[in-house]
Amino acid sequence: MTRASTDGEGLPSGDLLKRIGFHLPHRVLAPLRVARDFGLGAWFRGQGRWCPVCGQSSRKFRPGGTFVRQNARCPRCGSLERHRLVWLYLTQHTDLFDGRPKRVLHVAPEQCFAGRLKARLGEGYLTADLLDPHVMERMDITRIRFSDETFDVIYCSHVLEHVPDDRRAMREFRRVLKRTGWAILLVPITADRTFEDPTVVRPADRLRVFGQEDHVRRYGPDYVDRLREAGFEVNITRVADMVSAEDATRMGLPWGAGEVYHCRRAAS
């Protein structure tokens, strides 16, 4: 697999606009995204694929991802496989959209989710990140400034593999989660067993050892043990638990699209 700035059809990749947009003010970035999504929607008009995030059909999905995968990115909203999997889970297996007020913490918000969640959740929705200038709250997740039991829901996807002290971040998530709340804490599972080495610090070495320049570990299935050690009860859901093989193909969800780790505070 290789990095790419185009999606294989000569069109700019969503990752490229994301990297550029990180440095642009929202008033400039927003119309660029609208124009991009309109053009891609027209180019990929058809019925071969359906995205549960935006509810739109396309003749196919685009290649996408940091390391380009075929049939990965929705051309209309930019969702990748893991986003479509999580959206299905949120709508089918949680109370997130039941209309009751909630305080929701969304760490490192994905473009395909943030606007939709804000529209449906209202004032209780908070986006946070350590570096992204477009979020509502600048946050180090190993030192969350909010008091105990603040949030009804926490969603954090593909962030912990960037955090040197991930165990502390997990404990912080548990601390600020209400006793009746729940969290979805996702990471890429790319090893048979979790591996980390704090002496690996150069970007080139991290790319070679961990698969990406800013990753500090590879997680294995024992990731769930870290969550439990931090004080969570964990339920794991996979693609096959939610949709048929036919629907999975239509939504661009390979059986290996990942797992949803649904966490609740374990009794003390």
The pLDDT score that the predictor gives to residue 256 is 76
The answer to whether position 25 is within a domain reads yes
Q: How far apart are CA 56 and CA 153, in angstroms?
A: 27
Among 73, 90, 112, residue at a domain's last position: 73
The pLDDT score that the predictor gives to residue 67 is 80
Among 50, 73, 96, residue at a domain's last position: 73
26 and 94 fall within a common domain: no
126 and 94 fall within a common domain: yes
The pLDDT score that the predictor gives to residue 14 is 46
The answer to whether position 145 is within a domain reads yes
52 and 100 fall within a common domain: no
Total of domains in the chain: 2
Query: Average pLDDT of each block of 10 consecutive residues along the chain (268 residues)?
Result: 38 48 56 60 74 94 86 91 96 96 97 95 97 94 98 98 98 98 97 97 96 96 98 97 94 89 92
Q: How far apart are CA 263 and CA 153, in angstroms?
A: 10
The answer to whether position 135 is within a domain reads yes
68 and 110 fall within a common domain: no
Strand pairing category for 151-157 and 177-186: parallel
90 and 29 fall within a common domain: no
**CA triple 87-186-113, angle to 5 deg:** 35
165 and 88 fall within a common domain: yes
87 and 67 fall within a common domain: no
pTM: 0.84
Among 73, 93, 110, residue at a domain's last position: 73
141 and 90 fall within a common domain: yes
Q: Which amino acid is at 45?
A: R
188 and 101 fall within a common domain: yes
The pLDDT score that the predictor gives to residue 47 is 76
The answer to whether position 65 is within a domain reads yes
The pLDDT score that the predictor gives to residue 42 is 65
Q: Where are the alpha helices (DSSP H) in 124-236?
A: 166-176, 203-210, 223-229
User: 177 in helix, strand or coil?
Assistant: strand
Exposure of 155 in the CB half-sphere (CA atoms within 13 A): 22
55 and 97 fall within a common domain: no
Q: Which sign does the torsion angle of CA 185, 188, 190, 195 carry? A: negative
The answer to whether position 43 is within a domain reads yes
120 and 197 fall within a common domain: yes
The pLDDT score that the predictor gives to residue 8 is 39
Q: How far apart are CA 58 and CA 105, in angstroms?
A: 31
Q: Where are the alpha helices (DSSP H) in the chain?
A: 14-21, 26-43, 81-93, 111-121, 166-176, 203-210, 223-229, 245-250
- In which domain, by residue range, is 231 found? 81-265
CATH assignment at residue 140: 3.40.50.150
Residue 217 contacts residue 226 (beta carbons within 8 Å): no
The answer to whether position 2 is within a domain reads no
